[in-house]
Amino acid sequence: MKSEQGQDAFGLLLNHHFAGEACDEFIERDDGYLMATDNLPAYFAPYSEWPPRMQQAMEFVHGRVLDVGVGAGRFALYLQERGHEVVGIDVSPGAIEICRRRGVKSVRQLPFHRADASLGTFDTILMMGNNFGLFANPRRARWMLRRLKKLTSRNARIVAESLDIYGTDKPEHLGYHDRNRRRGRMAGEIRLRVRYRDLIGEWFDYLMVSQREMQEIVQGTGWRVAEFIGATGGQYVGVIEKEG
């Protein structure tokens, strides 16, 4: 069967997993590297099964929340139960469908960079599940951070998870880092797409950064990293606060 490109492979994965089907997700990198993942159950996991850094990160969420890359709604549902008003956004129509079926009250199919004043004002921008990556690259990150200043309240926070990619010793990853540097990119600028059965999703850019790099990107945008949750060299959460 001929593969279909530009389809909602991620959304179909979520729907099939939710229906109890056995699913295999593959992430393809633009250098041809193909990786099977076991992330699907995590998208639906309740708070009690989250890693400690994710649980601790929820303590920094306040007020009205924009859940960026809402996925299957695990964070939105938890925060709704705690009394927060949450708006979830995602580019995947299948993810939006699952969120609605699971009880997320407000979700929109919308790319992060198109979030605007029509969504209202937020007190917390939530970017969990390594979704600091949705800033795509340093230039867009700084542009988006300045844009988010206008969409957020005076004491707003960005609670964002990322992965420090420098801890690896795998040649296929180290080679990709070097390839990026030769092209004038950060080592953690990754171009990916999701594959599932005969569907191939759209390519998208994703940015993985160390804690130091997160601080450097945020500097001068009107935000500052107040603290980190989690150790260096792996997955961690940055708590980013408005300056002034």
CATH code, 118? 3.40.50.150
Sheet holding 235-242, edge to edge: 107-109, 86-90, 65-68, 122-127, 152-163, 235-242, 223-229
- Cα–Cα distance for residue pair 173/33, rounded to 1 Å: 9
What is residue 2's predicted lDDT score, i.e. its pLDDT? 39
Total count of domains within the chain: 1
User: What is this structure's pTM?
Assistant: 0.95
Over residues 225-235, the pLDDT tens digits come to 999 999 777 99
Token match 């729907």: residue?
15
Of residues 16 and 5, the one with the higher pLDDT is 16
- Taking residues 217-226, report their average pLDDT: 98
| pLDDT above 50 for 3 | no
Residue 6 pLDDT? 65
Average pLDDT over residues 206-225: 98
The pLDDT of residue 1 is above 50: no
Residue 230 and residue 176: Cα distance in Å, rounded?
Answer: 25
pLDDT at 232: 74
Task: Round to whole Å and give the CA distance between 188 and 173.
Answer: 10
**Domain around 28:** 4-242
pLDDT in tens, 39-90: 899 999 999 999 999 999 999 999 999 999 999 999 999 999 999 999 999 9
* Mean pLDDT to the nearest integer, 207-231: 97
